Structure 1
Amino acid sequence: MGLRDLLMNHGMAEGGLDLPDVLNALAKGAVLVDVRTAREYEAGHAPGARLVNPKELLADPFTAVYGDDPLAEPNPHFILVCDTGFRSGHLVAPVREKGYNCDFLASGLHAWRAGGEILIPGPPRGR
């Protein structure tokens, strides 16, 4: 089963957070999770965003985001992001079904850039 099949098995989450709400959540410790491809991420990503493979996120959200980090927040608030909100919006429900507080940025990185926030190029940081 491909990623598209996985995404289409779950409906898109209602709404999504707008940029001010995302920035507020990040200031309170939420984790920005980028669900795009490595190539897309390297071309430009939000500062501090963690690149996570969507299939790994669906299998085990906590481990996909934090790996074996002993300092990981035990009750994280994940905010998923992609270019437009389509991929991230479809991933929210299955992550929530696993018991996690999870939202997505409505309109994705298009909203991020439109709001005057920067994207930085480069590879993902290690977990």
Structure 2
Amino acid sequence: MAREVTLETLAAAWADGGLVVDVREADEYAAGHVPGARLMPLSTVLDRCSELPADQRVYVICASGNRSKTATDWMCSRGVDAYSVAGGTRGWADGGRPLAAGYHERTA
């Protein structure tokens, strides 16, 4: 069962440079995402887990929280310290938090 954090927890971690991974499809990501989030569509997570740091918490987000739970379970099974974000990108935006559009990702 996926570990979950609140949008408030994500907001604090994001402000401190935390790693956010968006598991939605590219078109959803381009339409609006947490600024700096790394795009990793759910269908690619199993093959790309090795790209994620083993020594850093990863915040996994999707539209509402369903895909991120699946991705979080997969990541955790491969040694990633991953947490699903309850409420997802919709909740992030509904809370008045910033969104970025296009394919700009934080590098690091």
Structure 2 length-normalised TM: 0.84
SS of equivalent to 1:109:
helix
Larger radius of gyration: 1
Q: Is there any run of 5+ residues in structure 1 with no aligned partner, and where?
A: 1-11, 66-72
Instruction: Say whether residues 1:105 and 2:94 are aligned partners.
Output: no
Residue 121 of structure 1 and its aligned partner are, at CA, apart by 1.2
Aligned-residue CA RMSD in angstroms? 2.1
Residue 28 of structure 1 and its aligned partner are, at CA, apart by 4.1
Task: Report runs of 4+ in structure 1 exceeding 3 Å deviation.
Answer: 124-127
Structure 1 length-normalised TM: 0.72
Question: Partner residue of 2:36?
Answer: 48
Question: Partner residue of 1:39?
Answer: 27
Measure the CA separation in 1 of the matches of 2:104 and 2:45: 16
Instruction: Say whether residues 1:18 and 2:3 are aligned partners.
Output: no
- Is contact 1:36–1:82 with CA below 8 Å preserved after alignment? yes
- Number of aligned residues: 107
- Is contact 2:37–2:105 with CA below 8 Å preserved after alignment? no
Instruction: Say whether residues 1:92 and 2:68 are aligned partners.
Output: no
Aligned-pair identity in percent equals: 32
Q: Is there any run of 5+ residues in structure 2 with no aligned partner, and where?
A: none
